[in-house]
Amino acid sequence: MNDEKLKEINHIIEQAKAALDDSKFLIENKKFNIAVNRIYYSIFYVLSALALKYGFKTSKHIQLISWFNKNFINEKKLNINYGKFVHKIFDLRTRADYDFYVKFTQNETMQIYSDVEIFINDIINFIKLN
């Protein structure tokens, strides 16, 4: 992998970490629905970094998730539960953004945050080791 591509991958990983950090700030300030949005985007960014490493580019969320499932979940390169997990967080983000009656609680949002933090770290480690 060339230095420019590695630099871009690392930049996207930093975006993923920043989005997760933003979500922590939002949780602390009781902005739970917005926090769920940023939590999801941390997943989107880290999967985008993974995709870039393997030569796949898209700005479409569902295409990225489908590519991830096909190449890493179906092939059992990563925890098979991560496929459903990513879909679940995508659905939660959609509800947080577009369902005017959804109100996430602090406990729900903290659990989502904790689960996604583990996911993000696993994907970053996978990127660096493979």
Q: Per residue in 1-25, pLDDT tens?
A: 799 999 999 999 999 999 999 999 9
Nearest to 45 by CA among 73, 83, 5, 11: 11
Number of domains making up the chain: 1
Cβ burial of 29 (10 Å; 0-12, 13-18, 19+) is exposed
Q: List, for residues 61-118, the tens digit of each pLDDT value.
A: 999 999 999 999 999 999 999 999 999 999 999 999 999 999 999 999 999 999 999 9
Give the range of the structural domain holding residue 78, as residue numbers without chain letter: 3-129
Provide the b/e sequence for 83-102 (b: ≥16 CB within 10 Å): bebbeebbebbeebeeeeee
The structure's pTM equals 0.95
